[in-house]
A and B are shown apart, each in its own frame.
Chain A
Amino acid sequence: MTDWLLFSIALIVLPFLTVGTIRLLKARLQNRLGPPLLQPFYNFFKLLGKEEVVSNDASWLFRFCAVANLCLALFLALILPWLSFKPVFLIEDLFLAIYLLALLRFFSILQALDAGSPFGGFGASREATLSLLVEPAVVLSLAAVAVIARSTDLGDMFSFARPHTLHDLTVWSTAGAALFLASLAELSRMPVDDPTTHLELTMVHEAMVIESSGPNLALVELAYALRLVVMFGLAGQCFIHALFCVIHPQTSTLAIISLLVIFAMILITALVETVVVKLRWTRVPEYVAYAITMALLAAGGAIMGRMT
């Protein structure tokens, strides 16, 4: 019961907090004062209370997709083991999770395209490209984990009760790296997409949501924040498991570590977004290639691990 309670609090708080932290850290790193930590939270409620403007050309899909995406994001948060204290849910299948993520993308692409806006179109096109590039990396790295866990149940895969050998260290760490790199691309962060430029035509995520406003935008932003924290959490869990191969901390410690890892990733993201420039669109595949390489390493490691 306590883990459900803790998890619910984390589920409500963490998304807003993550987005707020990234923004704040980025501002501080760039010698700006930055918005308050809870600004995303305020924004959410402000947007909920606003009037919604919907394009004349939009259909019911436009609003449906926002709703569905939020539900999917919540569902994903329930089944993906992004926090070490996440309670067990009814269905925790690896491929279900991956394809729910794809469904989420599908809906966001449709939402972007519905109104026939040129911005939405370009954003959607890029999102589709990114997602197909990222997909092999995500699937392969998680499949590698599934191979060493001999199960595709996420609960079993990310269970600490299972013996962790030193061999698994490479798999976990490379899988974590692959997931982290992939999630940066997937979530339209730097160096793939710059969410802060003023020209929407160059963007992915912001271009896609350009037609959303009011409550619709609130749902979209919440879904995005949830995805962000869940993906970071998932990558973080991989790193924690890598750590777990070497030392075996207590369960309560693990909970704190999982929060810390998320924070570390936020920090890295903020750093990256401060230091690195956005890649040209044509060079994005080169970046994603790193993620895929990491995933391949993980897969190779998993097979080698089987041998020994």
Chain B
Amino acid sequence: MTLFSFSEAVALLAAILSVLMVGSGNLRTNLLAYALSTAAIALVAGLRAGILGESHLLLIALAMVVIKALWVPWFLSRILDRIKVYFDPGTVLAIPIAMHTGIVLMGISYLLAGRLPLPVDGDPVTGSTTASISLLFTGALFMLTRKTAVSQVVGFLTMENGIFLFALTMARGMPLIVEMGVLLDVLVAVMIAGLITFKIQKSFEHIDVTRLTDLRE
């Protein structure tokens, strides 16, 4: 097994971890699964850095581990502790069904990935492409089926991971500053979202976003 195929496997592992994340109603478990999946993607980035010899990828992988895999889950779990909400108050779609849907979506991702043109470098990247599309789907699924504000943030971050992985695969050589900027934006977004989650709990005494329907026509 070459290093490259190992990185492909890790990418798929990240996708599978995120599908598993859909299978839990416990918010802290979700965060853990998310953190592991992000770490896996960071690992993919690191491996790619090794394979391609692009040192700035290593930097990105490092930043990712620190910010997205460590700080964000920590920050969110602290918020969970503060507001004392640990479980989703009931999902829109039953949890097992959501997870199975995730698996099906992964299959669809595989089909879609096959349709994309190969990258110019010629490496067979079906695995990581599948993983990234699947991560996108899973994130969207998570956002759509979960009711708490924190789950939505996690879903959004999962989608972001998918995009990152995709950029890593398809668009090798994205400028470092862009990647860093994106990371910064994500960081700020999570901070703001966390603050607002806190505020939602204070104002509404729940963080169930399906019940935020005062503003409507």
Quick check: do A and B touch in the complex, using CB within 8 A? no
B residues in contact (CB < 8 Å) with A: none
A residues in contact (CB < 8 Å) with B: none
